[in-house]
Amino acid sequence: MAAPVGDIGLMGQNLILNMNDKGFTVVAYNRTTSKVDNFLANEAKGSKVQGAWSIEELCAKLKRPRKIILLVKAGSAVDDFIAQLSPHLEAGDIIIDGGNSHYPDSIRRTKELESKGLLFVGSGCPLWPLSHARWSPAAWPHIKEIFQATAAQVNGEPCCDWVGETGAGHYVKMVHNGIEYGDMQLIAEAYDILKRGLGLHEDEIADIFTTWNKGVLDSFLIEITANILKFKDDDGQPLVTKILDKAGQKGTGKWTAIAALDAGMPVTLIGEAVFARCLSGLKEERMRASKVIAGPQKEPFKGEKKQFIDDLEQALYASKIMSYTQGFMLMRETAKELNWNLNYAGIAQMWRGGCIIKSVFLGDITAAYNKTANLESLLFDDFFNKAAHKAQPGWRRIVAQAVLWGIPTPAFSTALSFFDGYRSEVVPANILQAQRDYFGAHTFKVVPGKENSKLPLGQDIHINWTGRGGNVSASTYSA
């Protein structure tokens, strides 16, 4: 069985060698043919990996149905590669996009390739989760063995499965990356609180993260953060303190935030994580602002340090629950809109291994959706409801103390605000609707039980807000 990889970068090399180790024959191709030569002469030396030095040769070496995995930059590069491949393929051949493509592009490519009799699989890198076209039942048997054999394994189960139709795979991967932005921002804020708030050294903070990694926060990102904090430069100083505080981003977090706005879903934590990176990019402006804008006079911490650190752990855990709650709400809404049948327990299970946000926490999400497949919100699950309730006191103390210190916590703060807003039966949107009707005649609806002859229930109402003393006649109302 042969499965080619379209680009030999570091990720492509690792995938090829992984497939080779699992017993698959792989044909490697890169438009820069010298990369193929170097790879075969070095990393792949002694393996069964074959090389191809042209698109024609690549396609000729593959058994039908051909299975071609593209690992190229998202966007036009994927379309260009597909255009080069298509003339050399036959009905039933399978093109797999293993990069971080935007899900609307995957939906479009699915339709375009279907019209040519080809199968398209949008697979979030590193080859999970999968999204299939309507032809996917025909494609899945041919690629399932390859994907599940090479995927990360947790408790003997592959972290790879069929997610849903058309662009669902890349959509789920996009949300994964957005959640990743949120997790990273929360960890950065926890570090800032420990560093600037408590005045701890990186070695002490590393020890705290190491301890956290043995509990509810056990995860890849917590683990690597502890390692990062311990790493010393040649002069013995923590290397992390020498890194410019100006974060980059590839765009998948922004895609998630935009998708949330389009869907009308309050995915606030991912949005704040993206904006925090944008704010970090204003380094020179922040430097000027720091000299002319004064914050609060920071008082030394006088409380119980251990209790504060425990509170911070709970605040991080609860905020993480809010982020994942929002992410799954977004997937639920989009699945409803696009008629996708997403397996939420399966998604959480796939994320448990082989990805940046892998954590013990995801096992609890899997259990929640296994118990209630149509779970409306993680906060309606007993486990997460109790966890959020338990975390509340410490969570609030942390956010309050950070505000008093003048330490920005956009992710912690918006998580708590979402929690308070979500649990509120009544929010002040009545004022917003009155304002909208006042200046733009946008209408409003009446609260059930408060209707009367002039305020009918269930109708869109507009009034003349400048009527005498607020008293208006029935003729002022319109449905």
Token pair of 144, please? 């399932």
pLDDT bracket for residue 19 (50, 70, 90): confident
First-to-last alpha carbon distance for the chain, in angstroms, is 66
Across 140-154, 226-240, 403-417, 427-441, least confident range: 140-154
Across 31-40, 122-131, 266-275, 362-371, least confident range: 122-131
Average pLDDT, the chain: 88
Which candidate in 35, 67, 165, 180 is catalytic?
180
248 against 212, higher pLDDT: 212
Q: Would you state the pLDDT for residue 5?
A: 52
In the predicted structure, residue 79 carries a pLDDT above the cut 50: yes
Mean pLDDT, residues 163-176: 82
Q: Helix 410-422 crosses helix 305-338 at what angle (to 10 degrees)?
A: 60
What's 73's domain CATH number? 3.40.50.720
Is 158 in the same domain as 217? Answer: no
| β-strand pairing of 130-132 with 27-29 | unpaired
Which DSSP letter does residue 287 get?
H
163 against 47, higher pLDDT: 47
Block residue for tokens 């039908």: 64
Block residue for tokens 């251990």: 306
Radius of gyration over alpha carbons of the chain, in Å?
26
Mean pLDDT, residues 352-380: 90
Q: Would you state the pLDDT for residue 132?
A: 32
pLDDT per position as a tens digit, 239-297 = 999 999 999 988 889 999 999 999 999 999 999 999 999 999 999 999 999 999 999 98
CB 92 within 8 A of CB 120: no
Mean pLDDT, residues 150-156: 70
Is 293 in the same domain as 372? Answer: yes
Q: Would you state the pLDDT for residue 145?
A: 66
Is 453 in the same domain as 334? Answer: no
Residue 5 lies in a domain: no
Q: Would you state the pLDDT for residue 140?
A: 65
Across 64-78, 130-144, 318-332, least confident range: 130-144
Is 206 in the same domain as 85? Answer: no
pLDDT per position as a tens digit, 336-364 = 999 888 889 989 988 876 678 888 899 99
471 against 457, higher pLDDT: 457
Rounded to the nearest angstrom, the gap between the alpha carbon of residue 210 and the centroid of all alpha carbons in its chain is 24
List Cβ neighbours of 369 (8 Å cut-off, separation of 6 or more): 344, 345, 348, 375
CA distance 123 to 176: 13
Residue 411 lies in a domain: yes
pLDDT per position as a tens digit, 80-98 = 999 999 999 999 898 988 8
Residue 2 lies in a domain: no
Residue 287 lies in a domain: yes
pLDDT bracket for residue 181 (50, 70, 90): very high
pLDDT bracket for residue 100 (50, 70, 90): confident
Token pair of 220, please? 């890849």
Which candidate in 173, 195, 254, 320 is catalytic?
173
Is 393 in the same domain as 443? Answer: no
Residue 4 lies in a domain: no
CB 173 within 8 A of CB 342: no
What's 239's domain CATH number? 1.10.1040.10
pLDDT bracket for residue 138 (50, 70, 90): low
Token pair of 212, please? 């956290």
| β-strand pairing of 67-70 with 153-154 | unpaired
Is 75 in the same domain as 121? Answer: yes
Token pair of 479, please? 């449905």
pLDDT bracket for residue 468 (50, 70, 90): low
Mean pLDDT, residues 33-39: 91
Check if 173 is active-site. Answer: yes
CB 327 within 8 A of CB 178: yes
Q: Would you state the pLDDT for residue 8?
A: 47
Sheet of strand 130-132: strand arrangement: 67-70, 94-97, 119-123, 130-132, 162-165
Domain boundary among 387, 406, 422: 422
Q: Would you state the pLDDT for residue 366?
A: 93
Domains in the chain, number = 3
Judging by beta carbons within 10 Å of its beta carbon (0-12, 13-18, 19+), is residue 178 exposed, middle or buried?
A: buried
Whole-number percent of the chain with pLDDT over 70? 88
pLDDT per position as a tens digit, 326-339 = 999 999 999 999 98
Check if 45 is active-site. Answer: no
Residue 1 lies in a domain: no
Is 121 in the same domain as 237? Answer: no
Token pair of 312, please? 């911070």
Q: Would you state the pLDDT for residue 7?
A: 53
What's 455's domain CATH number? 1.20.5.320
Is 324 in the same domain as 467? Answer: no
Rounded to the nearest angstrom, the gap between the alpha carbon of residue 226 and the centroid of all alpha carbons in its chain is 22
Across 19-23, 69-73, 137-141, 417-421, least confident range: 137-141
Is 359 in the same domain as 416? Answer: yes
pLDDT bracket for residue 4 (50, 70, 90): low
H-type helices in 46-163, by residue range?
55-60, 76-85, 103-114, 136-150
Question: Is the N-terminal amide bond of 129 cis, ω within 30° of 0?
Answer: yes
Please state the pTM of the whole predicted model.
0.82
Structural domain boundaries, residue 111 = 10-166
List Cβ neighbours of 395 (8 Å cut-off, separation of 6 or more): 311, 314, 315, 318, 319, 412, 416
Is 380 in the same domain as 457? Answer: no
Domain boundary among 405, 422, 439: 422
CB 358 within 8 A of CB 365: no
In angstroms, what CA-CA distances link 434 with 131, 236, 429, 454? 44, 61, 9, 16
pLDDT bracket for residue 479 (50, 70, 90): very low
Q: Would you state the pLDDT for residue 354?
A: 64
Domain boundary among 166, 187, 211: 166
CA distance 216 to 313: 9
Q: Would you state the pLDDT for residue 2?
A: 46
| β-strand pairing of 94-97 with 67-70 | parallel
In DSSP terms, which residues pair with 161 in a beta bridge? none
Concatenating the DSSP letter of every residue in 353-399 gives SSSTT-BTHHHHHHHHHHH-TT-S-GGGSHHHHHHHHHHHHHHHHHH
Is 102 in the same domain as 250? Answer: no
Whole-number percent of the chain with pLDDT over 90? 63
Is 196 in the same domain as 303? Answer: yes
In the predicted structure, residue 385 carries a pLDDT above the cut 70: yes
